[in-house]
Amino acid sequence: MLFRPRDITLIPPQLPAYLSTYNLERIVGKPTDDQVKAIHAAIRALNSVAHLPALYDPDLSMQLSQHLFNAQLRIAVHREECMVALLPSDESTFIPPDLPPHIPGTLHKVIGAPSYDDVKSVQSAIRDVENLAYNSHLFDADLSMKLYQHLFNIQFARYMRDSVHGSFTSRIDSEERHPGVTSQSNNDSQQNNMNTRSEDRHHVTTRSSGPEQVKSSEITQLGDVMKEIKDAIGESKHVLKHMNKVLVATQRSMSTVTVGL
C-alpha cells in the first residue's frame, strides 16, 4: 500500500502544565484552521518564556515546529491546486493574504518560482504581525496563520524547483555576491588549517560532528517528504495532468487565483 503524508494521524507533542490551556488535538485528514492556530499559539507562548531557562524547553520548541510543518504539509497535500502549484511551473501562482493598514509593506502575488525577495517580504510581514501578539485589538490570529501558510507554500515551491533541477544555490549566490572576499577567505582558511592541523585536529572534529549530523538528519527528512509527495503525484499522474490543464486555463481567465486557506 502506497504511503502518503495525508494517511498519517498527526500526534502533537505533550505540553507542560504551564501550557495546558493550549489544547493540541490529534489531526486526522486536513487540519482545520482552529487546529493550526492552536499550534501557532502554543509556539508563541513557549517563545515568550525563552529567556527563562527553568521554563523554556528547546526540545519542545523543535517538536512543535515539526508538528506545525507536518500540518502545513498536510494542508498543501489536501489542496489540489496547491499540489499542482508545488510542481515546477512558470504558471504557478501564489496569492498572499491581504494586509491591514497598520501592517507596513505590500505583498504581491508570486508567479512561477518565488524569489528570495518574495520570501523576505512575507517574513517581514509575519514579524510585524507577531509583534502585535500581545495587543488583542490589533493582533489577528487568522492573518498570522495565513501568512505562515503562504510562507510555507513559496518556500516549499522553491525547494521543489531546486530539487528537480538539482541546484541548491544558496552557497553559490553568497560567493557570487562577494567573490573577492570569499576567495581571500578561503586562502586564509587553508593557510591557517595547514599551520594548526596537528594542534587542533581533535577540536575541529568535535565541532564538526554536531552540525554535520543535524544537516544529515534534515536532508534525510526532506528526502523522505520529497519521496512521499512524488509517490503521491505518480499515483495520480493522469488526474494531476488533467487538473493542471484546468487550473492553467482558470489562471489565464481570472485576474486572481485564491491560494490561501
* Residue 36, CA distances (Å) to 123, 139, 167, 218 in order: 18, 16, 32, 23
* DSSP string across 39-86: HHHHHHHHHTTTT-TTT--HHHHHHHHHHHHHHHHHHHHH-HHHHHHH
CB 60 within 8 A of CB 13: yes
Write out the three cell numbers for 169.
Answer: 544555490
The size of the chain, in residues, is 261
**Number of DSSP helices (H) and strands (E) in the chain, helices first:** 8, 2
Rounded CA separation 63/261 (Å): 23
Tens-binned pLDDT, residue by residue, of the chain (261 aa): 444 555 678 999 999 999 999 999 999 988 999 999 999 999 999 999 999 999 999 999 999 999 999 999 888 776 654 555 455 566 678 999 999 999 998 999 998 888 999 999 999 999 999 999 988 889 999 999 999 999 998 988 888 877 776 665 554 444 445 555 444 555 555 555 545 444 444 444 444 444 445 445 555 666 665 665 556 555 545 544 555 554 445 455 444 433 444
- So where are the chain's domains? 1-78, 84-169+213-261
What cell numbers appear for 143 in the block?
A: 492573518
Which pLDDT score is estimated for 159?
Answer: 82
